[in-house]
Chain A
């Protein structure tokens, strides 16, 4: 057994209102630079929908993630090592910038510099950030927001294509007949990362201490194999530097014991951050389970229980600091995944063992309950809908349980039962023992789960141990060496792209710049 700690995240999708605050604060922090205009380390997409980049979940096309070969061995879907190296001159699976979207900027200058006496109002026009030419904006990272255009496009959602024909045909995109929810996505910081496995130069790595997956900017040689290998399409090419970049899980903040910027600024308070312990030696076997529907349980089994004295001893022997073991015991992630078993991984069938899990949304089911003329506050009606009216459940199953509607439905029933139990408890003061029995949980557990999900106190959502005290001196020394960089390794620093702004005014001064860090003249 090789015990390791991982900083993992859970998002409670019922609480996501699709405000994109996480995306915006992330972009302002990490990708507001030349070359990363199209890059969203955090994006929020509406489901059903084709996503960002377009159809990224269609692995027949993009060959992301892992698969089992004829002999049951785990191989990257894009092929073995030699085959992948033979394609290094032109990667056939690489998305083009148009699969993301062509980034635009606007000549806002015109609004203040237009000559007086015009009969028309000056209008700022979009310009391509790639060519500098005027362009029409026809796509973006959240173009399908709240099912916009879904009646034309959303049936291209790869998850619908995988559902049974009968069920998929019933998913409708007419107003008042459909369902939707928002899906915020960051890098999954997988235990079995396909991007790391695909990097020819070994520049991508998983940190031993906290499992954060990073690109060493000095060792990346721009082979761009990581971009296509990631099934979630969360590694990007910076087209100004020619290097790969990705979500860093805000490691400078994590090292200081703070939540990531997307979590910190989430207005819905739906994100949870904490430590999980896992056995590195068990990862390969778990990812190699034959039946896709057994992958969820296999992934749960990789986690170790920090309350087990044997595990605790092993962790100490491996040199894990006490704060980390304590944090693992208190971890909200462990509660949601292992104890309440209501958090599910996104697309476990990619076999990467993702470390950002989701509490699936009950709201599509409640919508269906109402549409069927039932009472969405009555647990029996909700249970009945989950069992009988399988449309949203089957869709959620494609996302979170490799199509296993039983497993997805079980989680939704727990959420529905918690809702009804707490309603009875609060309004009537009664304890609905039958509900507890139906989901196999105790009253205390349900109330604790309710507190974690609904009250969601800051201190309970984020249990992040600061980098160990003995490391603090090293961080200090680093900060002293760099001056301008208070925390974090020099290896992972992003070097700002050098160059001028997009538009040069005729007087030679720079007009618009996409990068606020550049000097403004």
Chain B
């Protein structure tokens, strides 16, 4: 059971994450989009979307700091365990609350506004449910355990296991001893990665940073590289859209 949950599942999910992205990039450029619905509803989105995205940046940064940076490194540069704990709990709580506020607004928007509801695909619903569950688990761990409870030093266990995955030396015993809420959050996190390439989350990889230095007006020759036959429209998008239609 330990091997299944803490070795097989992470590797399976990472494999799906990688293969899924390659497959989708190759076969579904047309479906690779934020799928904006601001045209249909703007009032809630203008508040919810920036909150959610900024919160998400903070949450991603916090996870990177907590999981990828070993405790020995922070100690060496003079950050004591106590200081780290204070910073991580307070910053984690603030970014988590911002993200939750944004997520609540974005989900509410999908329910309240009939126009947006109608363009919401099944995959969107799955994604929102997953995100909400992950945020709730994560906040339970941060607020419930580390702020109000006795605290749990995940950097000695979960972080070591997580890094071990990438060195192909996952220490399952470290995870087996972790509190349930952390275990669930970790499992959910990997499943979330497996879901990622099949949702609109792929737009994250298209963050248009190159816009900052490219020339303003883009010229392109009519027949640039030799035209390749297009693959059939993506299964992902079609499956999602068909389901919505039948819901009506």
On A, residues with C-beta under 8 Å from B are 81-82, 84-85, 88-92, 94-97, 130-133, 192-193, 196-197, 199-202, 204-210, 217-224, 227, 237, 239-243, 280, 283, 467, 471, 474, 477-478, 481-482, 489-491, 493, 495, 497-500, 504
Taking the closest CB of chain B, its distance from the CB of A504, in whole angstroms, is: 6
Contacts A223-B34, A239-B39; A90 near B223 (Cβ below 8 A): no
- Interface presence of B64 (CB below 8 A): no
Pair count A-B, CB < 8 A = 164
Q: Which residues of A contact B47 (CB under 8 A)?
A: 90
On B, residues with C-beta under 8 Å from A are 29-30, 32-42, 45-47, 49-50, 52-54, 114-115, 118-119, 203, 206, 208-212, 214, 216-224, 227-230, 233, 237-238, 241-242, 244-246, 248
Judge whether B220 and A207 touch: CB under 8 Å: yes
Query: Could you list 25 examples of A-B contacts with CB < 8 Å?
Result: A85-B211, A88-B208, A90-B45, A94-B39, A96-B38, A97-B39, A97-B40, A130-B40, A196-B218, A200-B208, A201-B206, A202-B210, A205-B220, A207-B219, A208-B219, A221-B206, A221-B208, A223-B34, A224-B38, A227-B39, A241-B33, A242-B35, A490-B227, A491-B224, A499-B241
A85 to B246, CA, bound (A): 37
Q: Which residues of A contact B208 (CB under 8 A)?
A: 85, 88, 200-202, 221, 223
Taking the closest CB of chain A, its distance from the CB of B127, in whole angstroms, is: 15
Q: Across the two chains, which residue of chain A brings its CB closest to B41?
A: A96
Judge whether A243 and B39 touch: CB under 8 Å: no
Taking the closest CB of chain A, its distance from the CB of B10, in whole angstroms, is: 29
Judge whether B248 and A504 touch: CB under 8 Å: yes
Q: Which residues of A contact B36 (CB under 8 A)?
A: 222-224, 237, 242
Taking the closest CB of chain A, its distance from the CB of B156, in whole angstroms, is: 36
Judge whether B229 and A482 touch: CB under 8 Å: yes
Contacts A221-B33, A471-B223; A96 near B212 (Cβ below 8 A): no
Cβ contact of B203, chosen from A95, A133, A197, A221, cutoff 8 A:
A221
Judge whether A498 and B242 touch: CB under 8 Å: yes
Judge whether A90 and B49 touch: CB under 8 Å: yes
Q: Which residues of A contact B241 (CB under 8 A)?
A: 497-499
Q: Which residues of B contact A91 (CB under 8 A)?
A: 38
A104 to B248, CA, bound (A): 17
Q: Which residues of B contact A218 (CB under 8 A)?
A: 29-30, 32
Cβ contact of A85, chosen from B41, B115, B212, cutoff 8 A:
B212
Contacts A207-B222, A208-B221, A217-B30; A202 near B203 (Cβ below 8 A): no
A219 to B30, CA, bound (A): 7
Cβ contact of A82, chosen from B42, B212, B248, cutoff 8 A:
B212
Q: Which residues of B contact A201 (CB under 8 A)?
A: 206, 208, 211
